[in-house]
Structure 1
Amino acid sequence: MIRIKLDVVMAERKMSLNRLSELVGITPANLSILKNENGKAIRFTTLDALCKALNCQPGDLMEYIDETENQD
């Protein structure tokens, strides 16, 4: 499973959803879907814009979690 850590990075940068939306060029509603891990996909152009606006790497925004490790 891929976990989106956009909320963590935004908090570290003290970036509001509305401000990030302006910088990235996507609606606050679509950004919120991504932030709340309800999205199914992300475009590379959006990922690029997020990294630029937040001054981070793609790996700062996402992490892989092996779901089989937590199953008994």
Structure 2
Amino acid sequence: MAIQVRLDDLLHERRMTLTELADRVGITLANLSILKTGKAKAVRFSTLEAICDALDCQPGDLLIYSP
């Protein structure tokens, strides 16, 4: 897929675990893991907004296009 999720990089930079992020965002660890591994087919804007808020980042920091 040409869209890559940089969630691992952002979590590492902020010294946060996936479990901590799931608690802050209010979504299940399983769903967050699907997004992290790039297996998600879609992401809601509300989820993207919550992740960006928790990680203090912009959507472009989280998602990159790599053809």
Same fold (TM > 0.5): yes
Displacement after TM superposition at 1:29 (Å) = 0.6
Structure 2, unpaired ranges of 5+:
none
Percent identity between the aligned chains? Answer: 55
Larger radius of gyration: 1
Query: Hey, what does 1:19 align to over in structure 2?
Result: 20
Structure 1 runs (4+) deviating above 4 angstroms are none
Query: Hey, what does 1:43 align to over in structure 2?
Result: 44
1:34 counterpart = 2:35 = yes
Displacement after TM superposition at 1:25 (Å) = 0.5
CA RMSD of aligned residues (A): 0.5
User: 1: distance between equivalents of 2:11 and 2:39?
Assistant: 17
Structure 1, unpaired ranges of 5+:
67-72
Query: Hey, what does 1:59 align to over in structure 2?
Result: 60
1:8 counterpart = 2:6 = no
